[in-house]
Amino acid sequence: MAVRDILIHPDPRLKTPATPVAEVTDELRALADDMLETMYAAPGIGLAAPQIGVMKRILVMDCVKDEEAPARPMVLINPSVVWSSDEMSIYEEGCLSIPDQYAEVERPSEVEVVWTGLEGEERRERFDGLWATCVQHEIDHLDGKLFIDYLKPLKRQMITRKMVKLKREKARA
């Protein structure tokens, strides 16, 4: 397993829709392991493959907040939302590709998601609370969409300018 580099916005790969996974292979399972390790190391609660420059429809997440509770690492391959609640929730979201920037985003409170599991099996689950927000945020990544795309243009441009500056400083360091 290895911790991979996380792409920082702006990057064209973060704006590009990812390709469906055709087959669950050992190589893909190794990628999922790397993604989980990268997510936990960050630390974060979700990571989508395009964030490490791999343009495949796969995401990992673990939204267990209680440090006493057992971890619940999840790997979702080719996930899609098949139902969403009319009821909406607002969460302050952040993103490993947009470090230290947070903003409120409104999304459906509950979603039902269908995906392929690591053994190639079909999985289906209904998510609520933080899990619902996280899975929608990560599926957005697979469609080339970032949480800042939900913000007003002025706020989005302000965050993007900060990220350009951050990347310039990182490149110099």
Least distance (Å) between residue 45 CB and Zn ion: 10
C-beta separation of 34 from 20 below 8 A: no
Near Zn ion in 57-96, by CB under 5 A: 95
C-beta separation of 33 from 58 below 8 A: no
Near Zn ion in 15-34, by CB under 5 A: none
Taking the least distance from each CB to Zn ion, the nearer of 83 and 102 is 102
Report the C-alpha gap between 28 and 56 in whole angstroms: 10
Could you give the C-alpha distances from 109 to 89, 95, 151, 158, in angstroms and in order?
5, 19, 18, 28
Taking the least distance from each CB to Zn ion, the nearer of 61 and 95 is 95
Total binding residues toward Zn ion, as defined by CB under 5 A? 1
Catalytic status, residue 67: no
To the nearest 5 percent, what fractions of the chain are helix, strand and coil?
A: 35, 30, 35
Return the H-helix or E-strand segment holding 81.
strand 74-84
Asked whether position 134 contacts Zn ion by CB under 5 A, the answer is: no
Taking the least distance from each CB to Zn ion, the nearer of 35 and 95 is 95
Asked whether position 105 contacts Zn ion by CB under 5 A, the answer is: no
Least distance (Å) between residue 122 CB and Zn ion: 25
Least distance (Å) between residue 47 CB and Zn ion: 8
Least distance (Å) between residue 141 CB and Zn ion: 6
Report the C-alpha gap between 33 and 28 in whole angstroms: 9
Taking the least distance from each CB to Zn ion, the nearer of 44 and 108 is 44
CA 99 vs. chain centroid, Å, equals 13
Catalytic residues: 138
Q: Which residues bind Zn ion (CB under 5 A)?
A: 95
